[in-house]
Amino acid sequence: MTTTLPGSLLNGLNTLLGWACACVLLLTPLLGFAQGFAAYITPPRFEVKATPGQPLRQVFEIQHVGQLKGGYRVYTNDWTFQADNSVAFSDELAPESCRPWVAIERRELTLEPGARYRFRFEINPPAGTKPRECRFAIMIEGLDPARSGVDVGGRIGVIVYAAVGDAAPVLNLTATRVVKAGDGKNVAMLDVRNSGNAHGRLEGYVNAVDATGQTLEMTPADIPIMPGETRGVALSPVVGEGKTAPEVRFPLVVKGTLEWGKNRLPLDASFAP
């Protein structure tokens, strides 16, 4: 289970705040605002590398944006990425969970309105750990509203991926297809297989021409492909700020190269309903 960091370690962590920010993938901050729960969390996701036998220290920031003093509980969860691209959290230790390697700074904290707090945690894979990916979530949950201005109904999960040793994804395109979205529109889908031992993501831009001759720039959905799984990754048109998404007419021809890490995935495909 999760442990709490000793005071001596916390002092050492103070010198690592700037370094930690350079080691994470920064995305849009998470905002929790449900039934009184009001907090920004940044970064909302960590993608880091860890070495067996060496502690890896990281920091994220909690900003309390409620109008009253806010109390929070902090703990770890295991999680799974579902077929519908949702995340399911679990308090119980999953098989081969790495949460016993995780230490968090504290389990509860109280913040004044507008206050920010740098929360520290550590991942310490045991010496001799074979290459693998350690995945867990740090949950920030509002305490009993009788004790603070934050309602227990809200919580946020900060997702952590730590590649231990030389763990890495190996992504291959297995199929292309067209699916119907919830609004009835066609969507170009890539089926991508990950035969590696860490999650991967497709990135980049490709060029497309639809049935009307319209030229488009398209990009893959930012979703993780877990080790040992095949997942559908949607291609969507790139839309400029303040602009409306273009109407895509199928069949669609797509050419270009996507990337995963330092690797490339060539794409030359036709999508027809």
Q: What is the DSSP string of 185-226?
A: -EEEEEEEEE-SSS-B--B--EEEE-TT--EEEEEE----B-
Give one word for 204, left, alpha or beta, with left for phi > 0 and alpha for psi -120 to 50: left
| Burial class of 17 by CB neighbour count within 10 A (0 to 12, 13 to 18, 19+) | middle
Cα angle 27, 28, 30; round to 5 = 110
Q: What is the pTM of this model?
A: 0.82
Q: Are strands 206-209 and 252-260 parallel, antiparallel or unpaired?
A: antiparallel
Q: Which tokens go with 74?
A: 């902090």
Task: Tell me how far apart the alpha carbons of residues 130 and 53 are, in angstroms, rounded to a whole number.
Answer: 11
Task: Tell me how far apart the alpha carbons of residues 217 and 65 are, in angstroms, rounded to a whole number.
Answer: 38
Task: Tell me how far apart the alpha carbons of residues 73 and 139 are, in angstroms, rounded to a whole number.
Answer: 8
Backbone phi, psi, residue 100, to 5°? -65, -15
pLDDT tens for each residue of the chain, 273 residues long: 555 544 433 333 333 322 232 233 333 455 444 334 688 899 999 999 999 999 999 999 999 988 888 899 999 999 999 999 999 999 999 999 999 999 999 999 999 999 999 999 999 999 999 999 999 999 999 885 545 444 445 788 999 999 999 999 999 999 999 999 988 899 999 999 999 999 999 999 999 999 999 999 999 999 999 999 999 999 999 998 888 889 999 999 999 999 999 999 999 999 999
